[in-house]
Structure 1
Amino acid sequence: MKIDRDACWLKKKVDMFELKTYTLKAEGPIASTIREEMPRLFEGIKEVNNTGAINIELVDDVELGAEGFQIIKGSQMKIQATTTKGLLYGIFKLYELLQLNKPIERPIRSIPDQSFRMINHWDNMDGSIERGYAGKSIFYNDNLFRKDYNIVRQYARLLASVGINALSINNVNVHAIETRLILEESLPEVKMLNDIFASYGIKTFLSINFASPKKIGGLKTADPLDEEVVNFWKDIIAKLYRVIPDFGGFVVKADSEGEPGPFKYGRGHDDGANMFGRILKKYGGLCIWRCFVYDCIQDWRNRKIDRARAAYDNFLPLDGKFDDNVILQIKLGPLDFQVREPLSPLFGALRKTNHIIEFQLTQEYTGQQKAIYYQVPVWKEVLDFDTKYDYNPSIVKKLLKNNSPVKEHSGICAVGVVGMDNNWTHHKLMQSNLYAYGQLAWDNQLSSEEIASNWTTLTFSVSKEAHEKITEILTSSRETYALYNAPNGVGFMCKPNHHYGPDIDGYEYDRWGTYHFADREGIGNNRTVQGTKFVTQYSAARCDEYNNLKTCPDEFLLWFHHVNYDYVLQNKKTLIQDIYDNHFLGVERVKNYQETWESLEGVLDEESYRNVKGLLQEQYRVAVEWRDQINTYFYRKSGIPDQQGRKIYS
């Protein structure tokens, strides 16, 4: 099925210039892509400069590195880079600048801040996507490859336009059918996908099942130190690289949520990861090893167990023991992408191991692409976060690279968001997160407001007033969602299994270790030095800040402390009144979004207008449920009425 997908920020034509000619003296797959993209991007351009010509050229400029570029407007427009990949990024940037009507008055040099800028797809071969909310997989259907290469190419184009340079194409929870992706029978199709992405400068990775030697190799063990196991993987990897010489490598989820791993054999995660690393190194491949490792069968009665400690406890003792082509992938928070969650303490503490930070593009806990939730404020908070260690720089966006021995093996990844829905993301406005992720991963200095404004300009042709309305909705949406969600960092008050909508006690007596411990006196998890001691995993300065009730930020209060309902926050409200006020305000803000959006009828294209209008109705419905269930629950627990006398369904 061939669909002319809504191409997001690449759909509009540049109408202020006309491209008369361009020159490119380079060959290879990416050079061929550039030759395809030039007329496609700049069709209808009237004049780039006096000559109407662009010179696209490879230059010897060490400072630009392998991906940087520069744009020079003089007597002739020039895009320069040391590689064809850099040139491709340069032409997309020129297109963007022209669309944004930004002048090129002096040379523009652009070098990515983060080396790895990756997306992990959680696609299954049956066509489903774990935590996917935009339709079926663009790669697979009915346990076969979908073979819609037109859509894959459009997607590769979107990713390259914002600087994404790597992706994995299957779920980290590798089911039986997906274990066969590494076998020779599947490699021709994997190669087809790999080559499409490679032509846009993107490396392709596969998620693998650690127990594959048993599941598809007929062995009795998957012990990473067993010679037969090592030989199994040597054979698999040799055949894979014989077919796909530029293959990226493996992503591995091991000893996590039921997935097999080295613990079963009394081995460490360094043993498992290094086995893959040493075999892959011969081919230039990488092993990306996820740190989402914790005991998922916990006893809610035991207040001493704290799942939040797990990543640090498991991986910090191994710092420096991983090979130089192994990369640890660490979730931004200690639990699992909650609306409010502090930074994982591994960042800053880990100093001798390559690592990347993991974001979640898909909105698992944040409205599942039915709600507006622009994620850049979350990502900015963690990238700009000062870990306050006694070295410089101790800010996350800098230490990712500085604390990785091989700086090219550091950076950012994110869990994928797209599906077969015609607008890619189900919710039109949530295309902004895909655009924003690439932009911010490339340039960590960009602000939430600038990225949202640029996306709006690139996506809609509207008046300044309408532009400001859309941008304001985006930039305020994270805070709006947080207002009516679980309060003050406590998290996980959502429905089990699918995580959509409120269920305050849904996980409270379950095995997953995500408890709020609400009682008649108060609420919160005691992670202080008198509690689970989780705070001690941070630097001394951050430990002191979080451990002290008076200095712990209000938004993380219940993450670190169990406090009474009448505890007075830094904003001078009691905790219970803050909960009431926030949940009423959150609903009010969603109602305002509806009114603002309805004022844009006739201004926006009909499809986008109706898409967002309908989804805002659903967001309002769920926001009301969050408000009424949360407020009622805590009124029943505390017995303390709302000071403003508003209706609480007691």
Structure 2
Amino acid sequence: MRLFFTTLLFLVSHAIAEDGSQGWLRYAPVPNAPGPESVPSAIIALNATQSSPVFTAGEELQRGIEGILGKRLHLSATAGQSHSAIVVGTVDAYTNAYGDLKEAEDLETDGFFLSATLDKVVIVGQNERGALYGAFEYLSQLAQNNVTCEPLVYNPQAPIRWTNEWDNMDGSIERGYAGPSLFFRDGFVVDNTTRVAEYARLLASIRINGMIVNNVNANATLLSDRNVEGLGRLADAMRPYGVQLGISLNFASPNQTLGTFDPLDPKVDAWWANITNQIYNKVPDMAGYLVKANSEGQPGPLTYNRTLSDGANMFARAVNPHGGVVMFRAFVYDNHISPVNWTNDRANAQLEFFQHLDGNFDDNVVVQIKFGPIDFQVREPASPLFGSLRNTSTAIEVQITPEYLGQNCHLVYLAPQWKEILEFDMRSDNHSSKVKDIITGERFKRPLGGYAGVSGVGSNTTWLGSHIAMSNLYAFGRLAWDASLGSEAILQDWIRLTFGSNQDVLDTITDMSMKSWPAYENYSGNLGVQTLTDILYTHFGPNPASQDNNGWGQWTRADNVSIGMDRTVKNGTGNAGQYPPEIAQIYENLEQTPDNLLLWFHHVPYTQRLKSGKTVIQHFYDAHYEGAATAQTFVKQWKSLEGKIDKERFEHVLFRQTFQAGHSLVWRDSINQFYHNLSAIPDEAKRVGNHPYRIEAESMSLDGYKPYAVNPFHTASGYAAIVTTSNTTIGIATANVTFTTGMYDVAVNYYDLIGGKAKYQLEIGNRTVGRWTGDLEDKLGHAPSIYLDGHSATRITFQGVEVSQGERVRITGQADGIEPAPIDYISFLPPGIVD
């Protein structure tokens, strides 16, 4: 009967569609797992306070074991006989109840000890949060049918493991792709904190201990009495999970009251001390503050000719009596630098602003450094600032929400990128100085340090807008705890917990995910040239020209002969010389610089030979074709999992993989066409600009449609598309099929703008092949566009269509709002061909 019940639970869990709200904490029954007798018969949680993480641990253990094994255990908060029980609590509580536990002597803050046998499970945390972490670890092992019998101590490598939520007071989220904020609505903190608690639960399960709940581009209204009261509600919801609340501050907040925000003015100092005391009165365990100052137009101490350390230390003094931490962002730069000056370089800003202040920051200040010198690009070298601040605590900032990397409409598993940075050896003082050891405080013997991950979760049940993107949030937590873990091993834990233990599912998602970052790099921007997106607009689609000749400093210095930033000391911006000597020597030398960072450090002709033997321009052509080809395989791979994953999540991911496959071709064609035109160097394989399977829309017979010159020109095949003659017109485009009679996949590339939902119909001969609506802005969540460009360009494909040579193909588009039913081209693709 027990086996039947467990099997029934397993079948039911796979019959019911899942919305993703449980993330990796599904607690689904595990096939072939030991029976309910494999766990003790009771749970003893050594804390009766409902806001205690230990109490939460007891309830989580009860919930998890019932879901995984179908057995509901009795839960008690009273210490009793510990045989045949799961005992969870702090070291002190366990010692008081059962005597010393010598194995737990080596526990550090937030650490835990776990020992699991059939008769007894002991989960002991150094503090209450550690006990909860231990409960989640035990449940993770149960859910993967891989309980570790050997007693083990688990200690974190870094004390600070925070997410940064870029939520705005109006409920929007900067660089968020999953709906409105969990925390704010219409200028105020939300009343209902249920979803906040659910998010804190997810974070606790991956051992995240702090959360900054508002945007670094902060609004002073957060400090109003009503909102400070609201912060108390948020903290109350998070406290049972051991996640401490923190907030971002607007540096100029005192200005409205005092007429100044000078950090050395005693009135300003007292103002911040007062407001900080008020906040801690409502949130006694607040983690601290995050400050963005003097960057991208934000106010800061430089306004008054004070130093950045003057500003940071003002906040440090305010939170110090309460045990708080100040995270001060190193993302400080002038966004109006002149591209005319060859030696100007935004990448130099971090070191120029902070290096001379090393040792001037109070001990409770942590300088939060973006992983690279620019801004979350598809590839950057590790920031040289990591190797330069030896007397200052530091933390690494990574972006879980992939602002420049597909905005969760493209699969990009980011852990391999983060691992590459964390494992990078700065060789400070000619000694091993890996980034992961610097940010923990170990290398330079600093008291604090750790990780900040820009998350972007929203009210969507998928949290990030994509089921499969949750691997990045999971991986961030795991690496923040232990950076020595492998990115593939972390991924596979997440797959088993999220989608189950089917080997085909595990192998397929592993293969797709591990290929995803290299593929995206190939078709978006390689050789260290940065992500070639539109930096002036949505940061989503291709537009390499937008990077140059403006004040933002994300330059490629591309002209018709050469490309790349010269960051050498010898002839360029000097950025290579910001690294410790052993590393600087490599980056200074063209021959020694790795190819994947060549254009980051060197300005070279398109004909420069790489170590592979290819020229730079031919590598560009080939890489963009290879990356887009890989994206096509993701669709087939995901389809192979039909029936092995619940229908709701299967179809959700398939929709996004299909979009990625089409959009990767937009990237491929756009970037290749741009540099082909710029350099006038042909593709050796004769692919660029040669599309024999396409019918360009502007070459078709048009009725109610007219040709339109797309800008940027390279985001349209043949530089042009068609649009309806007015926003109320129905347009018709027709042409004769010139291709040989046979079976084809018929693809239509069109533009899906926000501000309208045009309707389309495709007919061949007397048959309607398909109808669709331009409504991706409601389905994808990426930053949309109001223009015909690389952001709005997309593709729909109808598979297995019988086509006869000479038949009439007809596309009808009905404009809506500002969307004039735009069409770029139609492709007739023989089996196995991607144009």
Taking structure 2 as the reference length, the TM-score comes to: 0.75
Residues 589, 519 of structure 1: alpha-carbon distance in 2 compared, 3 angstrom cutoff: same
Partner of 1:348: 387
Q: Which of 417, 436, 453 is equivalent to 1:414?
A: 453
Query: 1:239 and 1:518 mapped to 2: Cα distance?
Result: 53
Q: Partner amino acid for 2:23?
A: C
Q: Which of 263, 282, 305 is equivalent to 2:302?
A: 263
Query: 1:32 and 1:103 mapped to 2: Cα distance?
Result: 23
Structure 2 residue 128 is the aligned partner of structure 1 residue 107:
no
Deviations, residues 65-91 of structure 1 (Å, cap 9, x unaligned): 121111113442111222111110000
The 8 Å contact of residues 162 and 208 in structure 2, kept in 1 or not, is answered as yes
Partner of 2:504: 465
Deviations, residues 38-59 of structure 1 (Å, cap 9, x unaligned): 2112115368999652122432
The 8 Å contact of residues 134 and 369 in structure 1, kept in 2 or not, is answered as no
The 8 Å contact of residues 547 and 560 in structure 1, kept in 2 or not, is answered as yes
Query: 2:420 and 2:154 mapped to 1: Cα distance?
Result: 23
Query: 2:477 and 2:533 mapped to 1: Cα distance?
Result: 29
Partner of 1:499: 539
How far 1:148 sits from its partner (Å)? 2.9
Residues 404, 382 of structure 1: alpha-carbon distance in 2 compared, 3 angstrom cutoff: same
Query: 1:205 and 1:191 mapped to 2: Cα distance?
Result: 11
The 8 Å contact of residues 527 and 560 in structure 1, kept in 2 or not, is answered as yes
Structure 2 residue 519 is the aligned partner of structure 1 residue 476:
no
Partner of 1:606: 647
Q: Partner amino acid for 1:553?
A: P
Q: Partner amino acid for 1:637?
A: L
Deviations, residues 280-312 of structure 1 (Å, cap 9, x unaligned): 111111211111001111122222211100001
Structure 2 residue 601 is the aligned partner of structure 1 residue 560:
yes
Q: Which of 3, 7, 21 is equivalent to 1:6?
A: 21
Query: 1:527 and 1:185 mapped to 2: Cα distance?
Result: 50
Superposed, 1:346-425 pairs within 5 Å as 346-390=385-429, 392-402=431-441, 407-425=446-464
The 8 Å contact of residues 164 and 438 in structure 1, kept in 2 or not, is answered as yes
The 8 Å contact of residues 14 and 42 in structure 1, kept in 2 or not, is answered as no
Query: 1:73 and 1:305 mapped to 2: Cα distance?
Result: 59
Which deviates the most, 518-527 or 52-61?
52-61
Query: 1:408 and 1:76 mapped to 2: Cα distance?
Result: 37
Query: 2:437 and 2:445 mapped to 1: Cα distance?
Result: 14
Q: Which of 143, 156, 160 is equivalent to 1:116?
A: 160
SS in 1 for 2:241: coil
Partner of 1:134: 178
Partner of 1:440: 479
Residues 47, 609 of structure 1: alpha-carbon distance in 2 compared, 3 angstrom cutoff: closer
SS in 1 for 2:429: coil
Q: Partner amino acid for 2:542?
A: P
How far 1:641 sits from its partner (Å)? 1.4
How far 1:121 sits from its partner (Å)? 0.4
Q: Partner amino acid for 2:453?
A: A
Q: Partner amino acid for 1:612?
A: V
Q: Which of 338, 352, 355 is equivalent to 1:316?
A: 355
Q: Partner amino acid for 2:554?
A: T
Gaps of 5+ in 2: 1-17, 74-81, 93-103, 691-717, 719-835
Q: Which structure has the higher relative contact order (CA within 8 Å, separation 6+)? A: 1
The 8 Å contact of residues 324 and 405 in structure 1, kept in 2 or not, is answered as no
Q: Partner amino acid for 1:63?
A: D
Partner of 2:90: 58
Deviations, residues 143-164 of structure 1 (Å, cap 9, x unaligned): 2323332211111100000000
The 8 Å contact of residues 206 and 251 in structure 1, kept in 2 or not, is answered as yes
The 8 Å contact of residues 304 and 532 in structure 1, kept in 2 or not, is answered as yes
Taking structure 1 as the reference length, the TM-score comes to: 0.95
Q: Which of 133, 139, 145 is equivalent to 1:95?
A: 139
Structure 2 residue 46 is the aligned partner of structure 1 residue 21:
no
Query: 2:250 and 2:432 mapped to 1: Cα distance?
Result: 37
Partner of 1:30: 53
Query: 2:501 and 2:105 mapped to 1: Cα distance?
Result: 42
SS in 2 for 1:409: coil
The 8 Å contact of residues 391 and 444 in structure 2, kept in 1 or not, is answered as yes
Superposed, 1:37-52 pairs within 5 Å as 37-44=60-67, 45=69, 52=84
Partner of 1:520: 560
Superposed, 1:282-293 pairs within 5 Å as 282-293=321-332
Which deviates the most, 190-199 or 399-408?
399-408
Residues 492, 300 of structure 1: alpha-carbon distance in 2 compared, 3 angstrom cutoff: farther
Q: Partner amino acid for 1:497?
A: Y
The 8 Å contact of residues 355 and 404 in structure 1, kept in 2 or not, is answered as no
Structure 2 residue 675 is the aligned partner of structure 1 residue 634:
yes
Query: 2:308 and 2:358 mapped to 1: Cα distance?
Result: 11
The 8 Å contact of residues 71 and 77 in structure 1, kept in 2 or not, is answered as yes
SS in 1 for 2:63: helix
Number of residue pairs aligned between Structure 1 and Structure 2: 643
Deviations, residues 310-369 of structure 1 (Å, cap 9, x unaligned): 001110100000001111101000000000111100112111001101000011000001
Query: 1:14 and 1:64 mapped to 2: Cα distance?
Result: 32
Query: 2:553 and 2:139 mapped to 1: Cα distance?
Result: 48
SS in 1 for 2:169: coil
Q: Which of 638, 644, 657 is equivalent to 1:616?
A: 657
Partner of 1:543: 584
Structure 2 residue 333 is the aligned partner of structure 1 residue 327:
no
Partner of 1:339: 378
SS in 2 for 1:543: helix
SS in 2 for 1:493: coil
Identity %: 39
Residues 492, 4 of structure 1: alpha-carbon distance in 2 compared, 3 angstrom cutoff: closer
The 8 Å contact of residues 19 and 649 in structure 2, kept in 1 or not, is answered as no
Partner of 1:202: 243
Deviations, residues 443-488 of structure 1 (Å, cap 9, x unaligned): 1111111111111111113531232011111111101100101221
Q: Which of 579, 584, 590 is equivalent to 2:631?
A: 590
SS in 1 for 2:319: helix
Q: Tell me how large the CA RMSD over aligned residues is.
A: 2.0
Query: 2:459 and 2:181 mapped to 1: Cα distance?
Result: 6
SS in 2 for 1:371: coil
Q: Partner amino acid for 2:425?
A: D
How far 1:62 sits from its partner (Å)? 4.3
Residues 405, 190 of structure 1: alpha-carbon distance in 2 compared, 3 angstrom cutoff: farther
How far 1:648 sits from its partner (Å)? 2.5
Residues 27, 404 of structure 1: alpha-carbon distance in 2 compared, 3 angstrom cutoff: farther
SS in 2 for 1:449: helix
Q: Partner amino acid for 2:157?
A: D
Q: Which of 579, 590, 593 is equivalent to 2:620?
A: 579
The 8 Å contact of residues 352 and 404 in structure 1, kept in 2 or not, is answered as no
Query: 2:222 and 2:358 mapped to 1: Cα distance?
Result: 31
SS in 2 for 1:199: helix
Deviations, residues 363-411 of structure 1 (Å, cap 9, x unaligned): 1000001000000001100111111222544111112233687755201
SS in 2 for 1:327: strand
Structure 2 residue 207 is the aligned partner of structure 1 residue 163:
yes
Query: 1:139 and 1:57 mapped to 2: Cα distance?
Result: 30
Query: 1:57 and 1:506 mapped to 2: Cα distance?
Result: 56
How far 1:108 sits from its partner (Å)? 2.1
Deviations, residues 173-192 of structure 1 (Å, cap 9, x unaligned): 013xxx12223222221011
